[in-house]
Structure 1
Amino acid sequence: MRSSLRPTHRVAKAAVALTGVLALSALTACGNSHGSSGGAGGSKDGKVKIMVGGLDKVIYLPAMLTQQLGYFKDEGVNVQLLTESAGVQAETALVSGDVQGTVGFYDHTLDLQAKGKQVESVVQFAQAPGEVEVVSTKATASLKGPKDFKGKKLGVTGLGSSTDFLTKYLAVHNGVKTSQFTPVAVGAGQTFISALQQGSIQGGMTTEPTVSTMLAKKAGSVLVDMRTPDGSRAALGGLYPSSSLYMQTSWVDAHKDTVRKLSKAFVKTLHWMATHTPEQIAAKMPSDYQQGGGSALYAQAIKNTLPMFTKDGVMPSDGPATVKRVLSTFDPNLQNYDVDLKKTYTDEFVK
């Protein structure tokens, strides 16, 4: 029963032009077929393909960790994890039917509904964004908070991504129009840090482990910290459900047994995370996810982000309303469309 109650880009223009192509190219590079139905409730080759908006980002850690722990296999579901640098590209792969699920931010479910696409979160990984607004070391004198965004170039993972959404909210909420600053798609990891160091952006929004690596390299400092529920409440006025597994509602309705298995595997992972140390979690992850920072720094990045995760995959009761309020602050689509929040997620498979 449904709950009553979502490659490095140098310039923003190029990011927009390549958004659709990138989602397809990742799949092609893996040598996969692109069916959206058939075989074991997944694609034509029997796999359930899940696109992640950055597999090495700590905010999406449950995706790879579930695979590393063997929980997909335990539940009898054949999952293939794919990755893109930004959530908006992962969203594109889902809407185009190239994958069956996306691990990305819940807020995309509201944005898509306003655009006539019905998708829903089936497992809610997190109750806070896990995002951090940072300022480069070179720009600290002129950029002390969101009120100083005017005239600045600010890094986001991709245009139309959740980092883009939240940057716009922070600007508008602090009296700066979205037309008064320039969002620049710079991805995450080293591409983000290089953009800070080279001065192509004065600040930006990113996640762990990029934040900890940036601080270690003294490339910048923190302006707004939303890695915890308290940080989310301070910056956004409430809990902001973010990373989740979301899928097209029509596919969910037609493959409930598969969705139930996926959900069970992810919830087992969330529980495992809640009962193990950051060091134990880090040890289970691929070493290249450390982004060159080393195991200790990576464990610290996980520790900084762990409070954002739920323990049961259930949507926070007040979360969807916060997301709707935040997006409606700057998004004309949401301002002119009455989103039906109860259609943007379900707790049916996690309860």
Structure 2
Amino acid sequence: MRYSASKYRRRVVAVVVVVASLLLATGCRDSRHIPMKDGRPQITIMVGGLEKVIYLPAMLTERLGYFADADIDVQLLGEQSGATAETALLAGDVQGVVGFYDHTIDLQAKEQCIQSVVQLADVPGEVQLVSAQDAASITSPADFRGKNLGVTSLGSSTDFITQALAGQEGMSTEDYTRVKVGAGQTFIAGMNHDGIDAGMTTDPTVAQMVNSGEARVLLDMRTEEGTRAALGGLYPAASLYMGCAMIDAHPEIVGKLASAFVRTLGWIKAHTPEQIAEKMPAQYAGGDPALYVQSIRDSIGMFNGDGVMKAEGARNVLDILGKYSKNVQPVRDRIDLSKTYTTRFVEQAARAPQ
């Protein structure tokens, strides 16, 4: 059976139209695409908890006007789970994520290339809290067996770190129960209503629960000393990470983002917790400005000031995930850390005249 050239072309066009329609229907997006408006890049960044102090530089950069100074328009979206944020990035729904660096390693294990372009902190900024009623029976991770332990979500960074803490005591996830409790009020509700015995969270939730007497600090990873004691070394955490294809396609725009964040890190080092709190949205204080200032004071030392990843820290994250992450462990020897972060943009920002 033969077709004329015109019929053949019509059939090809029809197939192309159908395929294009299917791609649109399934939400397929170009992972390198950055929308433009009036000549300015339109960047959407998902933050794993806008009100969390560990991610404070994202909103602070906006409030200081540094995104505008860099000639880019940035929309910040809040999402309590880093695992959900990475899904949005891979789907092309956002151009960047402010979340934990360890996701870049976990995703490489799944054959996805994501890079930290600004490393905001060398430590997690996380605290393992134990409920006041369980404080006598849980005095270290060795007591995790048989307990309900709160994490932001399964596959989140709090989940990774919890597995590492339990793993150091010879336990696997079969020995305790991981409970998804999110952050903020859902975490507090979980601990106060016997949903969890202990859990990992950040300020301002930490300050609120400790001050009220509802919980006690079991492990404090807001400092380098506390992090090294808990995890055997640095654990670089809060970062701006983006897809490798996006970075390669738009280095100038990525450089502008990095410059804005580095300016903010410098500003943080030069100002007091009170001055920082004044710049943040009033609702972040939750009606208690003094508590919010305390939260910033307790956590602010985690930010490194220059945005540069420390190679020692990256190696320690891989070592931990290689032991305790079911995704990374089978392929840890194939993980290329050089593809999980880059320092070139923050180094360029440091050299640029201020």
TM-score (norm 2): 0.86
Q: Indicate whether 1:255 and 2:250 are aligned.
A: yes
Q: Indicate whether 1:221 and 2:216 are aligned.
A: yes
Q: 1:325 aligns with which of 319, 324, 332?
A: 319
Deviation at 1:191, TM superposition (A): 1.2
| Corresponding residue SS for 2:50 | coil
Q: 1:335 aligns with which of 309, 329, 335?
A: 329
Larger Rg: 2
Q: Indicate whether 1:137 and 2:135 are aligned.
A: no
Deviations 1:10-69 (Å, cap 9, x if unpaired)? xxxxxxxxxxxxxxxxxxxxxxxx875545569x99521000000000000000000000
Identify if the C-alpha distance between structure 1 residues 41 and 145 changes in structure 2 by more than 3 Å, giving closer, same or farther: farther
Deviation at 1:176, TM superposition (A): 2.0
1:30 maps to none
Aligned counterparts of 1:177 and 1:117: Cα–Cα separation in 2 = 26
1:288 maps to 283
Identify if the C-alpha distance between structure 1 residues 258 and 40 changes in structure 2 by more than 3 Å, giving closer, same or farther: farther
Q: Does structure 2 conserve the Cα–Cα contact (< 8 Å) formed by 1:145 and 1:223?
A: yes
Aligned counterparts of 1:39 and 1:322: Cα–Cα separation in 2 = 33
Deviations 1:160-196 (Å, cap 9, x if unpaired)? 1100100010001122222111111111111111111
Alignment size in residue pairs: 317
2:302 maps to 308
Pairing of 1:189-204 with structure 2 (within 5 A) = 189-204=184-199
| Corresponding residue SS for 1:47 | strand
Deviations 1:265-318 (Å, cap 9, x if unpaired)? 0000000000000010011011111234x1111111111111111111000121
Q: Which deviates more, 91-100 or 134-143?
A: 134-143
Q: 1:349 aligns with which of 329, 335, 345?
A: 345
Aligned counterparts of 1:266 and 1:315: Cα–Cα separation in 2 = 14
Q: 1:347 corresponds to which letter in structure 2?
A: T
Deviations 1:84-108 (Å, cap 9, x if unpaired)? 1111111111011100000000000
Q: Does structure 1 conserve the Cα–Cα contact (< 8 Å) formed by 2:127 and 2:222?
A: yes
Deviation at 1:251, TM superposition (A): 0.5
Q: Does structure 2 conserve the Cα–Cα contact (< 8 Å) formed by 1:138 and 1:199?
A: no
Q: 1:172 corresponds to which letter in structure 2?
A: G
Aligned counterparts of 1:236 and 1:325: Cα–Cα separation in 2 = 10
Aligned counterparts of 1:91 and 1:339: Cα–Cα separation in 2 = 18
Q: 1:317 corresponds to which letter in structure 2?
A: A
Deviations 1:135-168 (Å, cap 9, x if unpaired)? 0011112211101111111111111110010001
Q: 1:270 corresponds to which letter in structure 2?
A: L
Q: Indicate whether 1:48 and 2:43 are aligned.
A: yes
Q: 1:233 aligns with which of 219, 228, 233?
A: 228
| Corresponding residue SS for 2:203 | coil
Q: Does structure 2 conserve the Cα–Cα contact (< 8 Å) formed by 1:41 and 1:258?
A: no
The alignment-based identity, stated in percent, is 54
Aligned counterparts of 2:36 and 2:227: Cα–Cα separation in 1 = 36
User: Which 5+ residue runs of structure 2 have no aligned equivalent?
Assistant: 1-28, 348-354
Deviations 1:72-131 (Å, cap 9, x if unpaired)? 000001100001111111111101110000000000000000001000000000000000
2:292 maps to 298
Q: Does structure 1 conserve the Cα–Cα contact (< 8 Å) formed by 2:40 and 2:73?
A: no
Aligned counterparts of 1:39 and 1:201: Cα–Cα separation in 2 = 42
TM-score (norm 1): 0.87
Q: Indicate whether 1:180 and 2:175 are aligned.
A: yes
Q: Indicate whether 1:74 and 2:84 are aligned.
A: no
Deviations 1:205-261 (Å, cap 9, x if unpaired)? 000111000112211100010001111111111111100000000100000010000
| Corresponding residue SS for 2:208 | helix
Q: Does structure 1 conserve the Cα–Cα contact (< 8 Å) formed by 2:31 and 2:90?
A: no
Deviation at 1:332, TM superposition (A): 2.8
Q: Does structure 2 conserve the Cα–Cα contact (< 8 Å) formed by 1:38 and 1:46?
A: no
Q: CA RMSD in A?
A: 1.8
Q: Does structure 2 conserve the Cα–Cα contact (< 8 Å) formed by 1:314 and 1:350?
A: yes
Pairing of 1:20-169 with structure 2 (within 5 A) = 36-38=31-33, 46-169=41-164
| Corresponding residue SS for 2:216 | strand
2:3 maps to none
